[in-house]
Amino acid sequence: DEVHARAVARLPEIARATVYNTLGELVALGEVVELSTDGRAKRYDPNAHHAHQHLVCSNCGIIRDVHPTGDPLAVLPPAERFGFTVSKADVTYRGLCPACAA
């Protein structure tokens, strides 16, 4: 909805379906990453080409990019891989942002 609202500000006749279709194409091309957290509205992360994880406020839903050190694949013991060849790990950190914690 936010992307559509911003698009309408520049191009009033743009349809919501056009915005969603375009976002879907950008995801398919790997130009943005689609995020869906806890049943909230989908979010689109333009930081698709740099490795990072996400920090999500459990109350208001704000999302921040974080860059922890270390390899998240390294902490998964071989016995817990169940024969999978693991190629990627997506880690989401959850908590309360400073505004919600206050």
Question: Which residue, 59, 56, 66, is CA-closest to 36?
Answer: 56
Examine the domain organization and report whether 42 and 1 are in the same domain. Answer: yes
Output phi, psi for 19, to 5 deg. -65, -50
Would you say residue 102 lies in a domain?
Answer: no
Q: Which residues contact 67 (CB under 8 A, 6 or more apart)?
A: 51, 52, 53
Residue 57's pLDDT band (cuts 50, 70, 90): very high
Average pLDDT, the chain: 89
Examine the domain organization and report whether 23 and 42 are in the same domain. Answer: yes
Output phi, psi for 59, to 5 deg. -95, -60
Domain that holds residue 27: 1-49
Question: Cα 101 to chain center, whole Å?
Answer: 22
Give the pLDDT score at 98: 95
What integer is the mean pLDDT of 54-61?
90
Residue 1's pLDDT band (cuts 50, 70, 90): confident
Examine the domain organization and report whether 45 and 71 are in the same domain. Answer: no
Domain count, the chain: 2
Q: What is the pLDDT of residues 66-101, one digit of tens each?
A: 988 888 888 889 899 999 999 888 888 999 999 999
Give the pLDDT score at 74: 85
Examine the domain organization and report whether 36 and 25 are in the same domain. Answer: yes
